[in-house]
Amino acid sequence: MIDSLLFHFMFIIFLGIASQWVAWRFKLPAIVLMSIAGLIVGPFLGFVNPKEEFGDLFKPLVSMAVAIILFEGSLNLDYQEVRGLGKPVVRIITLGAFIAWILGSLAAHFVAGLSWAVAFVIGGLFIVTGPTVILPLLRQARLKPRPAAILKWEGIIVDPFGALLAVFSFEFIKFLVLAEVKLEALLWFFLASLLAVILGWACGRGTGWMLQKGHVPEFLKFPVVFTVVLACFAIADELKHETGLLAVTAMGITLANMHISSINDLRHFKENISLLLISTIFIMLTASLTMETLLEILNFRIIAFVVLMLFIVRPLSIWISTVKTDLSKQEKTLVGWIAPRGIVALTVSSYFAAVLLEEGFEDASILTSLTFALVFATVVAHGFSISWLAKKLGLAIDQPPGVLIVGGDSFSTQLGKAFLELETPVLIADSSFQRLSSVRNAGIPYFRGEVLSEQTKYHLEWTPYEYMIAATKLDSYNALVCTTFIPEFGRNNLFQLNIRSKQEADVDDLYHTIGGQYLFKEGVTWEELNKRVEDGDVIKKTTITSEYTYENYVTESHEKTLFLFIKKPSGKLQFYTNEEDPKAEPGDIIASLTRPK
């Protein structure tokens, strides 16, 4: 075995990202694969043990990573997104969390056999779900906006509160049980929590003001924000353990609701950092477990507790807290089932296991096993079931991947009609009502508005659309649209029409660096496409079979036939571009712009 800290650190990062890639490639829950990978290289094979190898750095590294992940997640908590969901969300993160704490504590005492003191500490911690596990599941499941927003808000808001609730329970228990602990210690906890919120708000406002006024140069924006986040977390955590998570959440929400363009630009980079940290930290935590901890999971009391948390505590807390809200039974069922625990639960429970044992609570020795049993069970159960359950309840986007076309004109209208006839979801967006007239007359779904506007983000439902085509008359605007939406759609799913001239040096440089993939044949521009449609050309759709092959189709096609795209039986689309010339297989449908017969 290679005895190198640098090599082991590289190996952990590689394993985390490899797990993410395999999960994407085979459509599996990434969290499950990361957990299994960590267990294999850690307790099973003994190849790495991050807790021992990193020593005193292990806990600070994990804590800072959790703070960054939580901050990045809270940057997505814009109040405009929660319009119409205010009552259910508030109920779930307050009354629902309180019910889950009480029921979880009762289960820990009567089923897991923990003392009342330890049971209430761990019951408070187990209300958390958190962005480290919720956000990957939401990316995987393609939920409709309402249930997705509820799960996201709950995960990010309750995450720091769960840790704080565990701290509060611990402080309260020490006040009741230990004679040397006075009321002042309990009051200091509440004061420190309030100071953490104020600190987070102040850091958010101050950072936002500096970015708005141009006091931070472009190349320093991310380093400044990153440094302030870590400082905010560290200062609050020094005041009182675990209040740092509350501070960075408050900072993230403050910045998100200032609607600063710089933050939108930085958010995508921070998402990549967050993904890297989630992958690395989850591998580190699972690889640090011991075989004794894993074997202890087989204890009947622990198994019974996990089953109770899955099937009784979580569903009951959601159904009771959402009484007389506008959530449907299907939404309550899905939200009541999905509650995976993750990094925060694992890290904070190990902290409390140590301090409770120091205070003489011997039953706290099983907390690590109990927590990992719940984390692994919820990650596996919810990771594999969320897509299936969402489809059964009608809360998943079950249509084939759709196409969002930017720009209303003759060619866009014909292309939109072709997608509709192939039962592919399509939407044509344009800021001009006049340019959308032919789209409206053809009965194609449309959106009037500027796709680059901040407000469009909240008024347009993006989830059904996996592909975007920028097809306006302005080449520069098409490139800008594609470049802006790279984080949302991915470069492989962004397309634009060919630019009019790539001969000038400045345009040729841009051609290779910005924008989306150039559609169809090289040199086929907006003018040519619209002229052909206005002259009577139509979009023809042909099914390729084993008898009528792609080669037959190409041979029989008119010399001016322009191949547009191929629709696979799965609903996936393959577009013809300047660089890609896909070949249709039996069962595929090929669409082309050609002369009418």
Q: Which amino acid is at 148?
A: A
First to last CA, the chain: 71
Residue 202's pLDDT is 92
Over residues 27-36, the pLDDT tens digits come to 776 777 888 8
Higher pLDDT, 131 or 576: 576
pLDDT at position 271 over 70: no
Residue 182's pLDDT is 64
Average pLDDT over residues 240-255: 80
Query: What percent of the chain has a predicted confidence (pLDDT) above 90?
Result: 4
Average pLDDT over residues 254-274: 68
What structural domains does the chain harbor? 68-260+286-392 (1.20.1530), 402-594 (3.40.50.720)
Residue 311's pLDDT is 92
Higher pLDDT, 306 or 483: 306
Whole-Å CA distances, 431 to 80, 131, 247, 409, 411? 22, 35, 40, 12, 17
How far apart are alpha carbons 493 and 487 in whole angstroms? 11
pLDDT at position 233 over 80: yes
Q: Which amino acid is at 228?
A: V
Over residues 374-412, the pLDDT tens digits come to 888 888 888 888 888 888 888 877 777 888 888 888 888
Over residues 128-187, the pLDDT tens digits come to 776 667 766 776 677 777 888 788 778 777 766 676 677 777 777 766 665 555 667 667
What phi, psi does 298 have (nearest 5°)? Answer: -75, -5
How far apart are alpha carbons 172 and 120 in whole angstroms? 10
Average pLDDT over residues 280-305: 83
pLDDT at position 293 over 80: no
CA dihedral 536, 475, 403, 147 (to 10 degrees): -150
Residues 430 and 408: beta-carbon distance below 8 Å: yes
Residue 307's pLDDT is 92
* Strands of 363-462, DSSP E: 402-406, 426-430, 446-448
Average pLDDT over residues 492-515: 62
The mean predicted confidence, pLDDT, of the chain is 80
Residue 48's pLDDT is 85
Query: What percent of the chain has a predicted confidence (pLDDT) above 70?
Result: 85
Residues 190 and 176: beta-carbon distance below 8 Å: no
Residue 506's pLDDT is 45
* Strands of 34-171, DSSP E: none
How far apart are alpha carbons 374 and 381 in whole angstroms? 10
Residue 103's pLDDT is 92
Higher pLDDT, 582 or 266: 582
Q: Which of 298, 297, 291 is nearest to 372 (CA)?
A: 297
Please report which confidence band the pLDDT of residue 483 belongs to, taking 50, 70 and 90 as the band edges.
confident
The secondary structure element, H or E, covering residue 496 is strand 494-496
Residue 505's pLDDT is 40
Nearest-5° angle of CA 591, CA 508, CA 472? Answer: 45
Please report which confidence band the pLDDT of residue 530 belongs to, taking 50, 70 and 90 as the band edges.
confident
Residue 66's pLDDT is 74
Over residues 87-120, the pLDDT tens digits come to 788 888 888 888 988 999 899 889 988 888 888 8
